[in-house]
Structure 1
Amino acid sequence: MKTSRKTDYAVHALMILARNKKQELSVKELAEIENVSSSYLAKVMQKLSAAEIVSSAEGKKGGYTLARAAAEINLAQIMKLFEAKDNVFECVDDIHGCSIRDRCKIHNVFGKAYQKMLAELEQTTIKDITDPEIKKGKDLI
């Protein structure tokens, strides 16, 4: 699955904030830790702030913290926030649509696959992926 750079930056920034509980980190600090562009990350953080996933404090000592516990932020929320326009399967999203939906045999399969993917992402939180031990799904060996 291919996700946008914004989704990748968002997930990694949230993991960093989860590891640094209650400590405000600036965009510059987050960008240095992630080794990414601070101007691009700033846009990502603004969107996370608008969605009330992170809290921001202005000023010289300001920065970002998680707005709620890492266990309450799931990956589906992040995916939907940043990937709404570029769904993994464009033909099943509400933006692009599909002109042959009624006669396409694969459309239903893609729709079900997308729903299963979102269900899995809804069950995986920032806490799950931040903890040292990776949480394995019940179907994985």
Structure 2
Amino acid sequence: MKLSTKSRYGARILVELARHHATGIPLQVSEIARRQDIPMKYLEQLIRLLRLAGIVRSVRGPKGGHVLNVPPEEISLGRVVRLFEGQDELVECISSPETCIKATSCRFRQAWKEATDALYANLDQVKISDLMDPHSPTQK
């Protein structure tokens, strides 16, 4: 499985916001874009999805910007990947067997389900707060 830039950049945005979570000071999109080297237009799209998911909140006004709406220790990488990849499983037939004519007799389906479960079990253990060390790179 190859994660899209949405998931990778989304996680980086959340780590940047998490670093400022305790201060309560909003970060502007331009500042996040500069610090994380993410194109501003793309970052705006990702922030919108994070807002719609209730993970990020916008603050209006001259000193406005964005803040985490959820503590960083409650946001898992699994949640981020599910949000940006738009699916919970590696193959569609796991949750929608009707999409495959061989779903009832397929020997691969159970293997794909176990692989999906293992992937998300691992991603759900990693919290945004675990990735906040300012000395470790958060790039790609």
TM-score (norm 1): 0.82
User: What is the aligned partner in structure 1 of residue 8 from structure 2?
Assistant: 8
User: What is the aligned partner in structure 2 of residue 24 from structure 1?
Assistant: 26
Q: What is the CA distance between 1:98 and its match in structure 2? A: 2.8
Query: Which of these residues, 12, 25, 45, is aligned with residue 47 of structure 2?
Result: 45
- Sort the Cα spacing of 1:120 and 1:42 in 2 relative to 1 into closer, same or farther, 3 A: same
- Sort the Cα spacing of 1:103 and 1:3 in 2 relative to 1 into closer, same or farther, 3 A: same
Query: Which of these residues, 114, 119, 123, is aligned with residue 125 of structure 2?
Result: 123
User: What is the aligned partner in structure 2 of residue 137 from structure 1?
Assistant: none
- Sort the Cα spacing of 1:83 and 1:89 in 2 relative to 1 into closer, same or farther, 3 A: same
User: What is the aligned partner in structure 2 of residue 35 from structure 1?
Assistant: 37
Identity across aligned pairs (percent)? 33
Amino acid at match of 1:10: G
Gaps of 5+ in 2: none
Amino acid at match of 1:89: V
Distance in 1 (alpha carbons) for counterparts of 2:97 and 2:14: 27
SS at match of 1:101: coil
| Larger RCO (CA within 8 A; separation ≥ 6) | 2
Q: What is the CA distance between 1:90 and its match in structure 2? A: 4.0
SS at match of 1:6: helix
- Sort the Cα spacing of 1:125 and 1:59 in 2 relative to 1 into closer, same or farther, 3 A: same
User: Contact 1:7–1:79 at 8 Å: present in 2 too?
Assistant: yes
Amino acid at match of 2:86: A
Q: Does residue 115 of structure 2 align to residue 113 of structure 1?
A: yes
Amino acid at match of 2:123: L
Distance in 1 (alpha carbons) for counterparts of 2:38 and 2:134: 23
Q: What is the CA distance between 1:69 and its match in structure 2? A: 1.2
SS at match of 1:25: coil
Q: What root-mean-square deviation, in Å, do the aligned CA atoms of Structure 1 and Structure 2 show?
A: 2.4
TM-score (norm 2): 0.83
Q: What is the CA distance between 1:133 and its match in structure 2? A: 8.9
